[in-house]
C-alpha cells in the first residue's frame, strides 16, 4: 500500500493550489483526478479574482504570468434605465480585483506543480473513500486497469459538486441548503475587443446582461435566458442583438461583435453543505458550496477554503496543534454564508423574476439608492472585492 500525508481528490484549481502550497512547506500529497490533464486545462470558467486570491497564488509561486497578463480593475459599472453608474472599488475600499481566467490559473498550476514533479494521477476511476473517521484514512481507485490504495493522514475533497467525497458521507451526517434560480446564463466567448475596460452589469426589463472579458482581445458576454432554452436557439446574430437591447444606447453603439468561439448555458444555484469537515475528510470549494456567478465568488471561495486548510495542515505538522483543523468548518462556513448573502442579493437585484412590474420598480429604487448613497456603494464594493480575512473567516 502506498503512503502519503494528504490525498487530494480533484486536480482543478483548488486541488492543485492546495498541493502546491503544501509542497512549499514540505508536506507531501497525491492528487487524484478522474479526467485527463488536457480536459481539465481546457475547461472555460470565470476568472475575476479577489486580492486575497491573487495573494495566495503569489504565495504558491504561480503568480508570475498573472502579474504580467492579469487585468487589474479598480471599478465596474451598473447599468439600468438606459444609464450607467460606476462603482469605484479602489476609491471606496482601497482594493481592486484582477481579471485572469481560470483556464490560465489551471495552466499555471499545472506548470508549477505537475511539471515540477508533483504527484498527480490522471484518469483514475472508481474512487472509494474509507476510514476518514479514524486516524488512518485510505483512498482506493482504479488506474490503467489496476486497483490501487493509498493510506494517508488526511483527505481533501476538491472534486466539485458531483464528486465522490461529499457523496461518501452518510446523509444523516450532513445537512444541505440549496436554492435553484428560475433562469440561466447564456454565455459566449469571442475574440473581439471588450466593450469596456471594466465589467458592466445591466438590469433591463428583458433580463440581466454582463459584459466581461478574458483579455484585451477576448471578450466574455452573458445574458439571462429561460431555464428551458437551448444553445441551438441562439445563433450569434440573435445573441448580439439581444445583448445590445439590454445595454444603454451609448454602450450598445460601441459593442464589437464577432463569431463565438465558445457558447454555453449555465443554470444558477445556491448550495451549501454543513459541516465542511468529517473526521479527517475536508470538503473544499464546489464540493461544499456553490454560489450564483453574479457576485464572482465561486473560485474565490474555493481559494479561501484552500488558504484556511493549508495553514491548518502546516500548523498540524509543524507545531503538532489541531486547533486550526478543528476550526476549519466554522471559519469556512462563516465566510461562505456571507458570500451567499451577497451573491443572492446581487442576483435578486440584477435579474428579472418573471413579469412583475412591482418587483422591477423595487429593483430600480434600490439601484437608484446605490447611485445616491456612498454608504450603499461602499457596502457593495467591499463585498465585491472580498471581505478581509480574520480569525473568524
Catalytic residue annotation: 73, 201, 293, 297, 384
- Which are the contacts of 63, defined by CB distance < 8 A and separation ≥ 6? 54, 57, 108
| Residues linked to residue 237 through DSSP beta bridges, in sequence order | none
- 267 with 351: CB under 8 angstroms? no
Cis peptide bond N-terminal to 275, omega within 30: yes
**Cell 496543534 -> residue:** 321
Phi/psi for 139 (5° steps) reads -130, 125
| Phi/psi-derived region of residue 126, left when phi > 0, alpha when psi is between -120 and 50, beta in every other case | left
3-state per-residue secondary structure call for 30-84: EEEECCCHHHHHHCCCCCEECHHHHHHHHHCCCCHHHHHHCEEECEEEEEECCEE
Quote the cell numbers at residue 181.
434560480
Q: From CA 237, how far away is CA 228, in angstroms rounded? A: 20
From residue 63, give the alpha-carbon distance in Å to each of 43, 107, 369: 20, 11, 38
> Please, what sign has the CA dihedral across residues 227, 230, 231, 237?
negative
Quote the cell numbers at residue 267.
443554470
Longest Cα–Cα distance of the chain, Å, equals 65
By residue count, the chain amounts to: 393
Q: From CA 122, how far away is CA 247, in angstroms rounded? A: 44
Q: From CA 78, how far away is CA 182, in angstroms rounded? A: 22
Selection from 165, 252, 151, 132 nearest residue 202 by Cα: 252
Amino acid at each position: 500500500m502506498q503512503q502519503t500525508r494528504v490525498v487530494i481528490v480533484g486536480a482543478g484549481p483548488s486541488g492543485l493550489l492546495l498541493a502546491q502550497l503544501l509542497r512549499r512547506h514540505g508536506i507531501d500529497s497525491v492528487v487524484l483526478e478522474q479526467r485527463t490533464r488536457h480536459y481539465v486545462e481546457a475547461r472555460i470558467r470565470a476568472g475575476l479574482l479577489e486580492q486575497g486570491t491573487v495573494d495566495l497564488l503569489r504565495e504558491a509561486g504561480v503568480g508570475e504570468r498573472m502579474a504580467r497578463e492579469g487585468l487589474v480593475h479598480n471599478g465596474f459599472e451598473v447599468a439600468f434605465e438606459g444609464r450607467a453608474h460606476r462603482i469605484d472599488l479602489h476609491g471606496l475600499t482601497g482594493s481592486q480585483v484582477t481579471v485572469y481566467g481560470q483556464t490560465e490559473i489551471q495552466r499555471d498550476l499545472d506548470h508549477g506543480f505537475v511539471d515540477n514533479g508533483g504527484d498527480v494521477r490522471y484518469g483514475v476511476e472508481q474512487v472509494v473513500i474509507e476510514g476518514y473517521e479514524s486516524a488512518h484514512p485510505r483512498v482506493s481507485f482504479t488506474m490503467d486497469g489496476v486497483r490501487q490504495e493509498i493510506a494517508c493522514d488526511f483527505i481533501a475533497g476538491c472534486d466539485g459538486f458531483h464528486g465522490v467525497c461529499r457523496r461518501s458521507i452518510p446523509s444523516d451526517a450532513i445537512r444541505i441548503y440549496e436554492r435553484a434560480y428560475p433562469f440561466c446564463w447564456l454565455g459566449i466567448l469571442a475574440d473581439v475587443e471588450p466593450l469596456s475596460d471594466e465589467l458592466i452589469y445591466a438590469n433591463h426589463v428583458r433580463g440581466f446582461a454582463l459584459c466581461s472579458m478574458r483579455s484585451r482581445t477576448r471578450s466574455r458576454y452573458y445574458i439571462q435566458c429561460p431555464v428551458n432554452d437551448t444553445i441551438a436557439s441562439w445563433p450569434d446574430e440573435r445573441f448580439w442583438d439581444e445583448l445590445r437591447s439590454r445595454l444603454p444606447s451609448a454602450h450598445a453603439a460601441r459593442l464589437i461583435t464577432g463569431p463565438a468561439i465558445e457558447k454555453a448555458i449555465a443554470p444558477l444555484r445556491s448550495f451549501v453543505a454543513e459541516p465542511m469537515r468529517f473526521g479527517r475528510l475536508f470538503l473544499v470549494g464546489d464540493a461544499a458550496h456553490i454560489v450564483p456567478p453574479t457576485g464572482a465568488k465561486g473560485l474565490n471561495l474555493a481559494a479561501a477554503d484552500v488558504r484556511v486548510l493549508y495553514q491548518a495542515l502546516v500548523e498540524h505538522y509543524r507545531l503538532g496543534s489541531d486547533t486550526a483543523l478543528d476550526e476549519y468548518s466554522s471559519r469556512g462556513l462563516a465566510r461562505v454564508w456571507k458570500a451567499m448573502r451577497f451573491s443572492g442579493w446581487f442576483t435578486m437585484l440584477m435579474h428579472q423574476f418573471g413579469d412583475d412590474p412591482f418587483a422591477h420598480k423595487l429593483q430600480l429604487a434600490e439601484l437608484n439608492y446605490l447611485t445616491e448613497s456612498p454608504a450603499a456603494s461602499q457596502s457593495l464594493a467591499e463585498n465585491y472585492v472580498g471581505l478581509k480575512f480574520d480569525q473568524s473567516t
